[in-house]
Amino acid sequence: MTFFVIIEGVLAFLLVAGGIFAFNGSLGMLRLEDFYMRLHGPTKGTTLGIGCVLLASMLYFTVTQREFHVQELLITLFLFLTAPVTGHMLAKTGLHMHVRFSPRSRGSLPEFHDEDVGQGRVARPARARHPWRTRKARRSRLRQGETS
């Protein structure tokens, strides 16, 4: 009996904490003044909030259905892996598109190349060449060398 009361308390705490964290992340995204400041809220707060909610769901189904339940752990792991990657790509996109800086978020960008901050041209990879085409060209070049 006490076990279920404790589990219920933990579940309620995790749910409320998850909701507060998710709301906090979205509030930060709404209220902060700059794109680079706004990036902080969703990448940290919302990820932690959804982690709490998924943990609560996992605990609930593990206790009520009396079998270990790991599907939510899969979603949690996936989201925790992809959120930093998304934040990195969004920051690179913002730098590339010259999103307006607020004076309070200005800083040096030592680790970016010129094309990352939009100062230089984007380096394009060389056009892919088909191997059969180069082989044929080399063969024809060899044949011309033989004739001439």
Positions that interact with another protein (CB under 8 A): 8-9, 11-13, 15-16, 18-20, 22-23, 25-27, 29-30, 35, 38-39, 41-42, 46-47, 49-50, 53-54, 56-57, 60-61, 64, 69, 71-72, 74-75, 78-79, 82-83, 85-86, 89-90, 92-94, 96-97, 99-100, 122, 124-125
Smallest separation (angstroms) from another protein to the CB of 54: 6
* Total Cβ atoms within 10 A of residue 39: 20
Shortest CB 137 distance to another protein, Å? 24
The C-alpha atoms of residue 45 and residue 37 are separated, in whole angstroms, by 13
Nearer to another protein, 69 or 107 (CB): 69
Count of CB atoms within 10 A of residue 79's CB?
15
Q: What's the min distance (Å) between Cβ of 122 and another protein?
A: 6
Residue 88: name the closest of 31, 137, 39, 126 by CA.
Answer: 39
Specify the residue, 69 or 105, whose C-beta has the smaller distance to another protein: 69
With respect to another protein, which residue has the nearer C-beta, 102 or 140?
102
Q: Would you say 31 or 141 has its CB closer to another protein?
A: 31
Shortest distance in whole angstroms from residue 100 CB to another protein: 7
Start-to-end CA distance of the chain, whole Å, equals 97
CB of 5 or CB of 146, closer to another protein: 5
